[in-house]
């Protein structure tokens, strides 16, 4: 088993550690020094709580702990669910010494972080991500929020956690489809920022799919390091952080057009990355390598059939639009991404039409 590893997200007085290891929930790691005080609210959901809540509560022995379980699913990532958490905080008279812990995937993490950001203008927050996607992406970087019927993540706040506690043992129970979806974001880091890691993924994808613990720990660690570097450079996405959205302008449009939940976020991002790579005009061997790695992870590099018009409309609603001009994250080569509004419109049209 790999030893516990700590990666730091350097954000001045908002810096925090990402701790990665196994058996951490059950007590291989003491959370107490990372809490604001003695009072905790653990937010989880109906699927994850029966699996891991008791273990986490064991770790929080000595604290006064309340918990709330949300219904499971992206369709519940809305203001109403965030409001249920706020109601619980009010009902239990939570104060500035309270720490709100998110135990679950990206949905629980995003909603919980948003509620923690809102309550009393911000209380302490801890991420305990239990999906691969949440471990490599959503739990790191402080973006929190909920969906609006008119668009994904339209309502949100930046709120950094005190710590991200990644217990890789939780991946044991994660359905394969969710694991593959998480691998999309892992591939993303290689594609945008680390060609060597991309090569490592090509070699080790079979081990990752077999849930080899060392391989998973390395993939999670490197992904978190890369995300931490980008976030430390540009916390509020004034510039470089936008490269983390590689594949997401297309991916969000796929999710929107298919109806949230039909295609998992990571699945949509995988196909979105292939589309963005095509728009990038990558060398064809690099494009093939990206599509092959996506497929080796058991993901589709080809998007579902959606009318080009519908995709364009959905992309027009994307938050990454500046003054009605679409912004894309493109690749210069594998391992190097850039953000641009200068793209080939007829090529975009061709790519969108090719899905049918």
Give contact residues for ligand NAD (rule: CB under 6 A): 45, 47-48, 51, 72, 74, 77, 104-108, 110, 130-131, 133-134, 137-138, 141, 143, 153, 170, 173-174, 178, 181, 265
Identify whether 327 is a catalytic site residue: no
Name which of 34 and 143 has its Cβ closer to ligand NAD: 143
Name which of 48 and 293 has its Cβ closer to ligand NAD: 48
Among 22, 88, 143, 256, the one annotated catalytic: 143
Name which of 251 and 286 has its Cβ closer to ligand NAD: 251
Gap between the Cα atoms of 63 and 86, Å rounded: 20
CA distances from 45 to 42, 77, 108 (A): 10, 12, 7
Gap between the Cα atoms of 244 and 236, Å rounded: 12
CA distances from 333 to 95, 211, 212, 280 (A): 49, 29, 29, 9
> DSSP labels for 157-178?
EE---SEEEEEGGGGGGS-HHH
Among 179, 265, 289, 327, the one annotated catalytic: 265
Among 61, 80, 93, 121, the one annotated catalytic: 121
Gap between the Cα atoms of 356 and 346, Å rounded: 16
Please state the closest distance from residue 100 (CB atom) to ligand NAD, in A: 15
CA distances from 321 to 187, 192, 235, 325 (A): 24, 20, 19, 6
Please state the closest distance from residue 317 (CB atom) to ligand NAD, in A: 15
Name which of 178 and 286 has its Cβ closer to ligand NAD: 178
Identify whether 248 is a catalytic site residue: yes
> How many angstroms separate the first and last alpha carbons of the chain?
46
Identify whether 227 is a catalytic site residue: yes
| Nearest-10 crossing angle of helices 308-316, 248-258 | 110
Please state the closest distance from residue 118 (CB atom) to ligand NAD, in A: 15
Among 152, 241, 256, 327, the one annotated catalytic: 241
Among 45, 69, 162, 245, the one annotated catalytic: 245
Identify whether 211 is a catalytic site residue: no
Identify whether 319 is a catalytic site residue: no
Task: Count CB atoms within 10 A of the CB of residue 262.
Answer: 12
Catalytic residue numbers, as ranges = 121, 143, 185, 227, 237, 241, 245, 248, 252, 265
């Amino acid at each position: 088993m790999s030893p516990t590893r700590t990666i730091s997200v350097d954000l001045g007085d908002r810096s925090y550690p990402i701790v990665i290891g196994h058996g951490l929930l059950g007590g291989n790691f003491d959370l107490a020094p990372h809490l604001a005080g003695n009072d905790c609210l653990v937010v989880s959901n109906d699927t994850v709580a029966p699996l891991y809540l008791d273990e986490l509560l064991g770790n929080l022995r000595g604290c006064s702990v309340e918990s709330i379980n949300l219904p499971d699913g992206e369709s519940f990532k809305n203001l109403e669910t965030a409001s249920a958490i706020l109601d619980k905080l009010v009902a239990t008279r939570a104060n500035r010494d309270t720490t709100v812990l998110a135990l679950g995937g990206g949905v629980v993490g995003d909603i919980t972080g948003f509620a923690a950001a809102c309550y009393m203008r911000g209380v302490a927050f801890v991420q305990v991500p239990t999906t691969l996607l949440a471990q490599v992406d959503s739990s790191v970087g402080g973006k929190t929020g909920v969906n609006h019927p008119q668009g994904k993540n339209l309502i949100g706040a930046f709120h950094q956690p005190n710590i991200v506690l990644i217990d890789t043992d939780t991946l044991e129970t994660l359905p394969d489809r969710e694991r593959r979806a998480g691998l999309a974001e892992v591939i993303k880091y290689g594609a945008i920022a680390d060609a060597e890691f991309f090569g490592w993924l090509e070699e080790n994808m079979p081990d990752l799919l077999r849930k080899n613990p060392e391989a998973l720990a390395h993939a999670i660690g490197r992904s978190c390091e890369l995300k931490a570097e980008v976030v430390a450079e540009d916390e509020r996405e004034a510039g470089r952080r936008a490269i983390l959205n590689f594949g997401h302008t297309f991916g969000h449009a796929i999710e929107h057009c298919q109806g949230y939940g039909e295609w998992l976020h990571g699945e949509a991002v995988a196909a979105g990355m292939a589309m963005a790579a095509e728009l990038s005009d990558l060398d064809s061997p690099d494009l093939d390598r990206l599509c092959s790695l996506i497929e080796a992870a058991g993901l589709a590099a080809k998007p579902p059939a959606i009318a080009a018009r519908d995709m364009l409309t959905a992309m027009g609603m994307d938050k990454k639009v500046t003054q009605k001009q679409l912004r894309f994250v493109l690749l210069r080569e594998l391992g190097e991404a850039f953000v641009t509004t200068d793209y080939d419109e007829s090529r975009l049209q061709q790519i969108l039409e090719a899905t049918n």
